[in-house]
Structure 1
Amino acid sequence: MALRALLSPGVLVRTGHTVLTWGITLVLFLHDTELRQWEEQGELSLPLTFLLLVLGSLLLYLAVSLMDPGYVTAQPQSQEEPKEEQAAMVPQAIPLRRCRYCLVLPLRARHCRDCRRCVRRYDHHCPWMENCVGERNHPLFVAYLALQLVVLLWGLYLAWSGLRFFQPWGLWLRSTGLLFTTFLLLSFFSLVVGLLLASHLYLVASNTTTWEFISSHRIAYLRQRASNPFDRGLTRNLAHFFCGWPSGPWETLWAEEEEEGSSQAV
């Protein structure tokens, strides 16, 4: 049982990320990059800053990967039908969806087949995190992407500073082949993380999720709607996402948008 837990996908993915992170950092220190030159000259502030940023990005990764993304607690079978006082709080126009596992789902929640749980304000399941990105860890996920991009771009610059192209091919391959491979990896990771960060900032600014953006035509509460019912402008969207203000159930925002649309139609 213990061996099975150690070989679980989550442990393997997180271990792989940790090993790759410190392995790339070690390559940058061992080769003749500006990072090593600063260290040899006794200028330790920049190398220490780089190490702290790497450590911070790794801790953010583990926090997002291990924390509860906003799991919906499964309701007992006897409570499948909502009570009268609970039903009265939910506008009747909202199309309630049911999950075969969690029964009644809150608005904007979705069942994740990988986690086998329903997640509030579900965005996506991240295989690199081996966890869902949802209501509770989405802000930390965006912060992780931003910090990781800073680390990757700095690492990319450091790797480039250590490449020497004016050498015979065989000697160059032996001396800088590993550093060049690291440079290619950092280039790829920088591109991927940069695109992810840009897309998530756009989603946050419009108060939507990856799942809603891709599958709006299949989602009952978004189908046949001309606009996003949860969008309250850039400032309020950012304040709600990062600070939880203004707070309130999504059902209220949906109902307000529905009422505004109905009044305009009349």
Structure 2
Amino acid sequence: MFESQNQSNYPSRCNLIGRCILSCIFVFLTHLTLSGIPRFFSTFSFLTQLALSALLLLLLLGFGGWCRRTVLKAKASAPAFVFFSILFVWGFYFSVIRPVVPRPNDVVFNCGVGFLFVGLYRIMTSDPGIVRNGSASPDQLVERSLSQVDEELELMAIGLGHGSAQDSGLLMRVRYCKICKAYIKDLDHHCPAFGNCIGQNNHPFFLILLFGFIGTEASYLMCTSLFAAKSGILDRPSELTLSESLAISTILFIILQLLWQVMFVIWHIYCVCANIRTDEWIKWKKYPEFQLVIPPEPGQRFTNIRFCNPYDKGMVQNVKEFLALRT
């Protein structure tokens, strides 16, 4: 499973190859453009260069969307962009950074990159927890109308009335993903970067993979810092070659990635501790169980609807439930 559970919705092979090539081009364009920050703004402080890099990435993102809609009329692949970004940084490390890096640091970084490649493949092809009805195939389930599947889920909920509370609670959190066109157990969100839903079956591995990204990127920063110290590129910012500019720009890129991923991990840890999912938090008005209706006070016409999490059983119990549902 990459972008959809429905085989008929898979892009054609030529289209998929074209999207991967487009993603590869955008990766090289991004890093070559970022290399201009340390080269042309060498007199600026590091924090200013970091802010300029963040702004430039936003401009490139907007430019890429404009090209996709008007010029190219083709959509790049986000998972391919992640893959080629890892490959670009790894290739640059081998060609420029690695000769001056101590053996232990080199082993740690290469093991981390290997884990990212394997993890990226696993998370893209994993089953997040697709709801299957008996012997029906995923394609048959997807082809049914939403109302039919809703009716089936209601019947399943009635049938589980005599089952365990854990099973019925799990069924209540079956959510529909419009991108995958499938119902997912305990759906957290659809991750564009990995081209797959994050649900009951792959949520723990998703968190592990995020920690893998953070660890590998921190290892790269350490290796690149050693390169910068030995080559003295920070002492002569106005005389940088292209490879030296790329060394600094990849540091800026990785730091921005780390900041984003650390915030993302903190958010997901909070969601686990509070027993709430990202999709539920964003779209809580769509799910009745999260709506607390407050009657209007005297003199008021309208009722107030506030957020209320019925699944929150305390941090310890929430974490136990999160782990127990996946064992």
1:50 aligns with 2:121: no
More helix, by proportion:
2
Indicate the residue corresponding to 1:180 in structure 2.
248
Identity in percent: 22
Indicate the residue corresponding to 1:26 in structure 2.
91
- SS of 2:84 mapped into structure 1: helix
Q: Separation in 1 of the partners of 2:324 and 2:104?
A: 32
Which is worse superposed, 212-221 or 201-210? Answer: 212-221
Q: Separation in 2 of the partners of 1:109 and 1:83?
A: 11
Matching residue's letter, 1:53: G
1:132 aligns with 2:197: yes
Determine which structure has greater relative contact order: mean sequence separation of CA pairs < 8 Å that are 6+ residues apart, divided by chain length.
2
1:61 aligns with 2:61: no
User: Contact 2:157 / 2:171 at 8 angstroms: preserved in 1?
Assistant: no
- SS of 1:119 mapped into structure 2: strand
1:171-230 deviation line (CA, Å, top 9, x unaligned): 314351111121111011111111110100110111110112222233111110775222
1:110-168 deviation line (CA, Å, top 9, x unaligned): 22121111211111111111111111111111111111111112212322332322226
Q: Separation in 2 of the partners of 1:12 and 1:148?
A: 19
Q: Separation in 2 of the partners of 1:79 and 1:231?
A: 25
Q: Separation in 2 of the partners of 1:82 and 1:112?
A: 15
Indicate the residue corresponding to 2:234 in structure 1.
165
Indicate the residue corresponding to 2:81 in structure 1.
16
Give the alignment's Cα RMSD to 1 decimal.
3.2
How far has the Cα of 1:15 moved from its partner?
Answer: 3.1
- SS of 1:231 mapped into structure 2: coil
How far has the Cα of 1:26 moved from its partner?
Answer: 2.5
Structure 2, unaligned runs of 5 or more: 1-11, 21-74, 133-140, 163-169, 293-305
Indicate the residue corresponding to 1:98 in structure 2.
none
1:72-105 deviation line (CA, Å, top 9, x unaligned): 23397599467989625439xxxxxxxxxxxxx9
- SS of 1:217 mapped into structure 2: helix
Indicate the residue corresponding to 1:141 in structure 2.
206
Q: Separation in 2 of the partners of 1:216 and 1:79?
A: 18
Structure 1, unaligned runs of 5 or more: 92-104, 248-266
Q: Separation in 2 of the partners of 1:38 and 1:127?
A: 34
How far has the Cα of 1:37 moved from its partner?
Answer: 2.2
**TM-score normalised by L of structure 2:** 0.60
User: Contact 2:275 / 2:318 at 8 angstroms: preserved in 1?
Assistant: yes
1:209–1:82 distance in 2 versus 1, CA, 3 Å: closer
User: Contact 2:101 / 2:226 at 8 angstroms: preserved in 1?
Assistant: no
1:25–1:141 distance in 2 versus 1, CA, 3 Å: same
Q: 2:267 aligns with which of 199, 214, 236?
A: 199
**TM-score normalised by L of structure 1:** 0.72
Matching residue's letter, 1:61: L
Aligned residue-pair number:
226
Which is worse superposed, 21-30 or 186-195? Answer: 21-30
